Amino acid sequence: MATIKDIAERLGISVSTVSKGLNGASDISESLRQEVLDTAVELGYTTKQMRGKVPRKLCIFVENMEYETPEQFGYDIILGFRQRAARENYEVTVIPASPSLQSTEKYDTYMLKNGFVGAFLLGFALQDEWMTQFHSTAIPTVLFDNNIKKNHTVSYIGTDSFEGIDDAIEHLASLGHRRIGLINGSRDSFICEQRRQAYIDSMSARNLPFSEDTMPYGYFVPEAASPHVGNLLSMGITAILCGNDLIASGAIEECTLRGLRVPEDISIIGFDDIPLAANLKPSLTTIRQDRIELGKCGFFTLHSLINHVSISRTLLRPELIVRNSTGPIHP
C-alpha cells in the first residue's frame, strides 16, 4: 500500500503539499490538487475520506490484451479510466474475462450479481460469447474497438483507423513506395476489419496496387510476422504496415534475419506506439493511439450512458510518429 511519501516523491513535491491536496485545502491550486489525487489513484493510495464514501461500482473486463505493466498496451487505458472514475467517486475493478467466465455466466447476470452499474470492455473478439449479448443488454457498457449497432446503452470508443492508416500510406507514398503490404492483426476482430478497409481505401485512392495477398491477417504478437514477411518480399513489397507494434518488431527481426536493412531495403510501420516502439533498432515509425486519453474517454462515455445520454461512438485522432524504420524507397 502506497504512502503519502510515495506520492510526494513521484511528484517531486513536499509531503505537506500532498497532504493539502488529499484533504482539499484551499491554499494549493486546483490543478496540483488534481495531480495529487490522480497520482494517489495510480499508486493505490486511499484516504479515510475517500474510503468513507459509498462508491458506485464499475468494472473493466479484459480479454486478449496485456495490461499489467506500463509497457503493455492496456495499462495506460485502464489508468486513464481509473483516474477519471475516482474523481466521480466510482470504484473500479479489473476482471479478466476468459472464455470460461463468459460461458459459465451471462453478462447481465454477472453484472447484477456483483453490483456493477457499468462496464468498460477491452480486447473482445467478434466471436467472444458475450458479444452477442451486448445487442440486448440494458446495462451501460462501453466497448473499446468494438461497435454494437442500435443498442442505446452500449457505446464504441477507439482511435480513427481510417485516418491512421491513411497517414501512414501517405507518408510511405511521399517516400516513393508503391508496393505496400499490411500484416494485419486477428481475423476475428472488428478493428482489424476496419484497418483492412482503411488500407483498401487509401491504396485505391492513390492508385497503388494491392490484392488479397498483400493484406494477410495474423495475430497481435511478434511471431505473427515471420510467415508473411517472406511472402510479401517475394511480391516486390518495399514497405510493410503492421497491425500493431509487436507485429512490427517481429517484421524487423525477420527482415534482419534475411539480411535486409530497415529502412534502406524495406520500410516498416507499426500501430499503437507502445513504449517498445521508440526502443527498437531502428526506432519504429508508428501510428500513435493516446491510451491515457482513450481510458478517460472510455470513462466519460460510460458515465454519460449511466446518466442516460446515449453516445453511439467517440473516436480519437491517431498521430503518425515518424522515426527511423521508414525511409525513401531503395533506388
Chain Cα centroid distance, residue 178: 29
Is 6 an interacting residue with respect to a copy of itself (CB under 8 A)?
Answer: no
Is 311 an interacting residue with respect to a copy of itself (CB under 8 A)?
Answer: yes
- Closest approach, Cβ 300 to a copy of itself, in A, equals 7
Please spell the DSSP secondary structure of 133-161, one letter per residue. HTTT--S-EEEET----S-TTEEEEEE-H
**Grid coordinates representing 287?**
501510428
**Grid coordinates representing 110?**
454477472
If the CB atoms of residues 160 and 193 are measured against a copy of itself, the closer one turns out to be 160
Judged by CB under 8 A, which of 136, 197, 279, 310 binds a copy of itself? 310
- Strand 285-288 to strand 319-321: parallel, antiparallel, or no bridges (unpaired)? antiparallel
Contact yes or no for 107/95 (Cβ under 8 A)? no
**Residue 295 DSSP symbol:** H
Contact yes or no for 164/270 (Cβ under 8 A)? no
If the CB atoms of residues 165 and 251 are measured against a copy of itself, the closer one turns out to be 165
Judged by CB under 8 A, which of 101, 312, 324, 330 binds a copy of itself? 312
Judged by CB under 8 A, which of 125, 133, 300, 321 binds a copy of itself? 300
Which of positions 211-250 make contact with a copy of itself (CB under 8 A)? none
If the CB atoms of residues 79 and 266 are measured against a copy of itself, the closer one turns out to be 79
In Å, the largest CA–CA distance within the chain is 68
Give the per-residue contact string, 131-160, with a copy of itself (x = CB under 8 A; - = no): ------------------xx-x-------x
- Closest approach, Cβ 149 to a copy of itself, in A, equals 6
- Closest approach, Cβ 81 to a copy of itself, in A, equals 14
Contact yes or no for 199/182 (Cβ under 8 A)? yes
Neighbours of 87 (CB within 10 A): 13
Enumerate binding residues for a copy of itself (CB under 8 A). 149-150, 152, 160, 163, 166-167, 290, 293, 296-297, 300, 309-317, 319
